[in-house]
Amino acid sequence: MRPSKRAPDALRPVSLERAVARYAEGSCFVKFGNTHVLCTASLEEKPPSWLRGQGRGWVTAEYSMLPRATLERTRRESTAGKPSGRTMEIQRLIGRALRTVVDLPALGERQITIDCDVIQADGGTRTAAITGAWVALHDCIAWMKARDMVKANPLKDHIAAISCGIYKGTPVLDLDYAEDSEADTDANFVLTGAGGIVEIQGTAEKTPFSEAELLQLLALAKTGCTKLVDLQKTAVA
Amino acid sequence: MRPSKRAPDALRPVSLERAVARYAEGSCFVKFGNTHVLCTASLEEKPPSWLRGQGRGWVTAEYSMLPRATLERTRRESTAGKPSGRTMEIQRLIGRALRTVVDLPALGERQITIDCDVIQADGGTRTAAITGAWVALHDCIAWMKARDMVKANPLKDHIAAISCGIYKGTPVLDLDYAEDSEADTDANFVLTGAGGIVEIQGTAEKTPFSEAELLQLLALAKTGCTKLVDLQKTAVA
Amino acid sequence: MRPSKRAPDALRPVSLERAVARYAEGSCFVKFGNTHVLCTASLEEKPPSWLRGQGRGWVTAEYSMLPRATLERTRRESTAGKPSGRTMEIQRLIGRALRTVVDLPALGERQITIDCDVIQADGGTRTAAITGAWVALHDCIAWMKARDMVKANPLKDHIAAISCGIYKGTPVLDLDYAEDSEADTDANFVLTGAGGIVEIQGTAEKTPFSEAELLQLLALAKTGCTKLVDLQKTAVA
Amino acid sequence: MRPSKRAPDALRPVSLERAVARYAEGSCFVKFGNTHVLCTASLEEKPPSWLRGQGRGWVTAEYSMLPRATLERTRRESTAGKPSGRTMEIQRLIGRALRTVVDLPALGERQITIDCDVIQADGGTRTAAITGAWVALHDCIAWMKARDMVKANPLKDHIAAISCGIYKGTPVLDLDYAEDSEADTDANFVLTGAGGIVEIQGTAEKTPFSEAELLQLLALAKTGCTKLVDLQKTAVA
Amino acid sequence: MRPSKRAPDALRPVSLERAVARYAEGSCFVKFGNTHVLCTASLEEKPPSWLRGQGRGWVTAEYSMLPRATLERTRRESTAGKPSGRTMEIQRLIGRALRTVVDLPALGERQITIDCDVIQADGGTRTAAITGAWVALHDCIAWMKARDMVKANPLKDHIAAISCGIYKGTPVLDLDYAEDSEADTDANFVLTGAGGIVEIQGTAEKTPFSEAELLQLLALAKTGCTKLVDLQKTAVA
Amino acid sequence: MRPSKRAPDALRPVSLERAVARYAEGSCFVKFGNTHVLCTASLEEKPPSWLRGQGRGWVTAEYSMLPRATLERTRRESTAGKPSGRTMEIQRLIGRALRTVVDLPALGERQITIDCDVIQADGGTRTAAITGAWVALHDCIAWMKARDMVKANPLKDHIAAISCGIYKGTPVLDLDYAEDSEADTDANFVLTGAGGIVEIQGTAEKTPFSEAELLQLLALAKTGCTKLVDLQKTAVA
């Protein structure tokens, strides 16, 4: 039995609220249960310096947690003087995932920065962030289309992400913090709307896992991401 | 005529929503119009190291803005490697203001950190932060009282803050960003529930101001803070 | 009775020595009693990068204390890796105050940096710094005028600053360290030669203060700044 | 055809040279073709501060590249002021992988740091580092056993790592730089001697990959890691 | 002919003014011509942490230049985030030189920090700093003796330093900035009162120098340091 | 008797292995006994920004030690956030020494960076680094000559470096760590192939040294550097 009483293949209640940030070109407040992330898309009319003059745009992401998003207060990274290794790992993942569904030349020489700020954290912040970031990115691109800034549609597919893990011997979908801190194996999957795999990050915390277990987790992830993509479609419809 | 059509002595719509953060000992989401600040209070069972063994507690504050709280995206301070001068100035002000109404020995050897994170910024973020921080602090202390952690009430009075300024020659209350960026003089006032002045910070952006103008601004601030304290009382009732 | 035996409205002995730095375009060694600050003005033939091409100049300030300016040695900020919040607050104040009396377009696309280095600290370092910085700035502009670099006089008025506070119940002028560390209320005032208020920063350390007390402090400040401006006039005559 | 003419399931020539560092408790110079990594194990007689008094030890790793390990010189991270996101991601991975095969309570309250310094980089530095780090760790633990510092053997299994990818449509093993920069999909696998999966990190650089492709890559990785573990066994025999 | 018209073996006018810093345990304002350095000695009643419990004290130094000590303004090191390589090299030299004449066990478990702040720089700042630092250190130790804090005299000898160089083919003593920037060879010598060599740092800027030239520079340095030690004796008499 | 049984004027076994780094334009792995340094030369087709447009090139050096090059593990400087004072001192010395034998205008507007990474440290790392760096620089310039990038030969002479010291009263050549940590006096000499002195850094650790001792050390250094230059000639022949 999961701590949340959910079935092994059940997502937490998910919501995707659009247009929550007054000034951003696109935004989404995403909730996976008690995990809440504010995603904003900011358009800049020039690409990063290392990309100048190449006729392509760029999509990047930054990730941060409010100090008291967590059970115990976490030290602010501006005070620590630099983002932690975990933060850098996550924001690199988000940016990489989004770029796989964007036609960068079609963006033109521009940069879109997706800021994912975790307001409350109950496990799965990176997967919620990716799922919400896609909505913010979609709306930013819609904003550009409304202003005739792009011709072809630069957004080629959906992207959604979910965590799976082996909790007390059972493969389960969408781990919350109570499960995550106990799970033997924890894996994050990023899938496209078409079902292609964009990223797998699976880690055995204690006991190595087998190929069979990996396939069980992947099957759960496909179920979960299909639902998340449906929710994205409803949200942006 | 003010850009917002408000009367010179009118506050923006103010709301103080409590208990918005699942894990914090106290929290408040404060809105002054389009300025939105999330304030959380975190209790730590030891004082800062420089205060150990002195039988007193401490209240401190940290302040930050989400990158896209503003019209244009602001660089994250964790990336810049340190909080800006403006951030440090504001968080020192918030902490100092709160401490004037707290009986620090009555807290015991503990520290309360109030995090004020600006979700959206339309002028007056520091005054909204102080006003909301008081509510978060109040609820943190109530949490401690409910657990018999303190005997005497360590919270001696209310604290609220408001900005005033001279906009196109007229003294006005609670400047939004459109006014703030045009105002000749900008002053922030922090007052107690009893009407005492805890902090005045008045700056002439262009033209020096006179004693008479200072008194007009102070009168507006008293009106504004009285209303804010009433709203705090309603909120925590 | 004040520790220094001064009357409540008496300044410490003040001196403003010009041309003390061999290489600077303007300089002033200012003493407010045992508080000694070396102010130098450095002219640079280009504005800060964010102001390029706008036909205006800029005046900025930096503030620092020698490690043993104080009773106990203070850690060097270059070792700490960044200026403290207090340092940033003070240098922002000095720059802002000076800019209110400078016609920035008349300066041309140039920058003047006023460095205020505290050689010895006995309270009131920021007010001494502002008062001396004005003299260094004046001499730097005189240096420019002597070389026909500016047409109209870019310096529109004097600027002087003084602290006031409520010490053992009595409003007093120009607090030294012994008073400052005991005062209930501490306020810094920056006034122009014409008597206009450029900045007020008043803080209740323990007990809130009243409007009547604020006015008493402002009256003292006016007396003090009038004398300081007279001393500036004598110095640059 | 692979640029190196290797068969799709062929490793590069691998060598594991032990005892190459005069002062370290264990060391290994590992070569995967032109990728060369020096791994040293340093024993410290106390655990990290956050683990004190818990009766367990810790294994951690640091990773770095010499500036001219690469085709073009890379800026030194000590000059940049902090390790890059990539560096932090890799060293976290190495440490996590090693810890899955170490009985931390059996180590006692000690820390072993594995430094992995890339002397030359031709793709696959993280997998070479993990494979060599295991040898350095093994020898450090042997050093401890020789001195009766541990009772039970704290090292429970082998750990080896290899990259696989889809290069021009074909799944291939152990990508060098020429393949890595062209590959559609790149995945790193960390496996135990018993064949359990400890970590999978698979990323689609351009085109999403399918479940079938994932299984092909995993099969290649099993082949590769089996050979690497054999080489480790020969090396430490 | 030297730019300053001095004879090849002539020092600039040197002065050593004691007790210039109100709060320091010892201080000296040293002038070598237009090079002016403020040296203060600060006593701390505990040694650096790495020396605790060893029954010895420590003497260390810090060196800094005011931004406008130089012809053109230099960026503040607190803004740059760290001391420059040149600064670290010089402060390590000053500390090392002073320690050679101090009986560290006789100091007891204490630390003396000598701060050398360059108020004005016209070449030879490090040699002026060492020469003045000795006086500040002497007075700090005298302060300790007056309070019976030390038994044996911890100060065993004088230390003085001077630069020499080959300017337009002629070996000269005590280079000012005009000579220093033109000299082929530049060497700094630190000598004891007894004439022993404590440190030699000789650098060929353009043309290598010979053993004969080295000996000529050393002879000049002996002459110079003898005079500087005499001036120290007069100063502390 | 020296700990290594060497005669007072005997170098440790020295080797200079060229072309050890696959990607660098020049490289040398230098061993002075158990001190091993990898030197690589990296050519960049533009000079540092402060030298642009002056028709000259630049040669610079960076120095670092692997964490476990030493008896006890040293903290990584990228983790500490900046190079230590010792590191900066050494890399400034290496760059300065190399530049004295390079015709910088003949290089053209380019920069050569010599990275000296200490793989194992047993005393004398800076002298080994300079001696090996010359070989790497030589080969980088040969690489440029082979591509007709330079006309005149920009390399004017050899540069080699050695340490000398007074160990238990006897002047000895090429100190290893066991001697270095015990020596009264430690001096590093950098000489050209023609026998000119480029740099002397002599430090009395405990007892000041005399002119006679300095000359004995210099004589040893000349012997040592002559042999090192012969080894360089053999290496690059």
pLDDT of residue C116: 98
Are C47 and C110 in contact by the 8 Å Cβ rule? The answer is: yes
- CA E83 to chain CA centroid, Å, is 18
- Residue E35's pLDDT band (cuts 50, 70, 90): very high
* pLDDT tens digits along A143-169: 999 999 998 899 999 999 999 999 999
* pLDDT tens digits along A127-139: 999 999 999 999 9
**Residues from chain B contacting residue C198 (CB–CB below 8 Å):** 203-204, 208
Looking at 3.40.50.300, 3.30.230.70, 3.30.390.50, 3.40.630.30, the CATH number of the domain F14-236 comes to 3.30.230.70
- Which of the two residues, B80 and A227, has the higher pLDDT score? A227
pLDDT of residue E231: 98
pLDDT of residue E144: 97
- Residue E29's pLDDT band (cuts 50, 70, 90): very high
> Helices A125-146 and A85-99 sit at what angle, rounded to 10 degrees?
40
Distance in angstroms (rounded) separating the CA atoms of residues B72 and A42: 8
* pLDDT tens digits along C141-173: 999 999 999 988 999 999 999 999 999 999 999
- CB atoms under 10 Å from CB of A43, counted, come to 19
Q: Which two tokens stand for residue D127?
A: 């997998």
Cα pseudo-dihedral F205, F210, F216, F221, rounded to 10: 50
**pLDDT surpasses 90 at E81:** no
Residue C56 counted as an annotated binding residue: no
**pLDDT surpasses 80 at C80:** no
Closest CA to E231 of E120, E153, E131: E131
- Residue F3's pLDDT band (cuts 50, 70, 90): very high
**Residues from chain E contacting residue C42 (CB–CB below 8 Å):** 67-68, 73
What single DSSP character describes residue B102?
Answer: B
Q: Kindly state the average pLDDT of the residues F223-233.
A: 98
What single DSSP character describes residue F61?
Answer: E
Q: For residue B112, what is the enclosing H or E element?
A: strand B111-120
Q: Which residues of D104-139 are buried (b: 16+ CB within 10 A; e: fewer)?
A: bebbbbbbbbbbbbbbbbbbbbbbbbbbbbbbbbbb
Contact E196 F210 (CB under 8 A): yes
**Residues from chain D contacting residue F71 (CB–CB below 8 Å):** 23
**pLDDT surpasses 90 at E79:** no
Contact F115 D68 (CB under 8 A): yes
Distance in angstroms (rounded) separating the CA atoms of residues A213 and A169: 10
Q: Which two tokens stand for residue A6?
A: 């959910």
**pLDDT surpasses 90 at E164:** yes
* pLDDT tens digits along E115-158: 999 999 999 999 999 999 999 999 999 999 999 999 889 999 99
pLDDT of residue F69: 97
- C-alpha angle A211-A216-A222 in degrees, rounded to nearest 5: 125
| Percentage of chain B lying above the pLDDT 90 cut | 92
- Residue F109's pLDDT band (cuts 50, 70, 90): very high
* pLDDT tens digits along B72-81: 999 998 777 7
Please, what is the average pLDDT of chain D?
96
**C-alpha pair distances (Å), F83 with each of D42, D79, F65, F72:** 22, 7, 11, 18
Q: Kindly state the average pLDDT of the residues E17-33.
A: 98
- Residue B84's pLDDT band (cuts 50, 70, 90): confident
- CB atoms under 10 Å from CB of E223, counted, come to 16
Q: How many CA atoms does the CB half-sphere of F123 hold within 13 Å?
A: 22
**Residues from chain F contacting residue E187 (CB–CB below 8 Å):** 200
* pLDDT tens digits along B6-44: 999 999 999 999 999 999 999 999 999 999 999 999 999
Residue in A closest to D159 by C-alpha = A208
**Residues from chain F contacting residue D27 (CB–CB below 8 Å):** 68
Tell whether C100 is within 8 A of chain B (Cβ).
yes
Contact F42 D73 (CB under 8 A): yes
Residue in E closest to F158 by C-alpha = E208
Contact F194 E200 (CB under 8 A): no
Identity of the amino acid at A77: E
- Residue C108's pLDDT band (cuts 50, 70, 90): very high
Q: Kindly state the average pLDDT of the residues C84-95.
A: 93
What residues 199-228 of chain E have any CB closer than 8 A to a CB of chain C? none
Domain chopping of chain E, boundaries? 14-236
**Residues from chain A contacting residue D197 (CB–CB below 8 Å):** 202, 204, 208-211, 214
Distance in angstroms (rounded) separating the CA atoms of residues C131 and C114: 12
- Residue C1's pLDDT band (cuts 50, 70, 90): confident
What SS3 state is found at D18? strand
Please, what is the average pLDDT of chain F?
96
Residue from the list E192, E194, E202 with its beta carbon closest to the beta carbon of F197: E202
Nearest-neighbour CA in chain F from D219: distance (Å): 32
Q: What's the predicted TM-score (pTM) here?
A: 0.89
Contact B40 A82 (CB under 8 A): no
**pLDDT surpasses 80 at D215:** yes
Q: For residue F168, what is the enclosing H or E element?
A: none
- Residue B1's pLDDT band (cuts 50, 70, 90): confident
Residue E6 counted as an annotated binding residue: no
- Residue D78's pLDDT band (cuts 50, 70, 90): confident
- Residue F168's pLDDT band (cuts 50, 70, 90): very high
Tell whether D52 is within 8 A of chain F (Cβ).
no
Phi then psi dihedrals of residue F36, to 5 deg: -125, 125
- Which of the two residues, A206 and E122, has the higher pLDDT score? E122
Q: How many CA atoms does the CB half-sphere of B60 hold within 13 Å?
A: 14
**pLDDT surpasses 90 at B205:** no
Please, what is the average pLDDT of chain B?
96
* pLDDT tens digits along E178-212: 999 999 899 999 999 999 999 999 999 888 999 99
Nearest-neighbour CA in chain A from D237: distance (Å): 25
Q: Which of A223-232, B89-98, C82-91 has the lowest mean pLDDT?
A: C82-91
**pLDDT surpasses 80 at C79:** no
Distance in angstroms (rounded) separating the CA atoms of residues C218 and E234: 52
* pLDDT tens digits along A34-85: 999 999 999 999 999 999 999 999 999 999 999 999 999 999 988 777 888 8
Q: Kindly state the average pLDDT of the residues C73-78.
A: 90
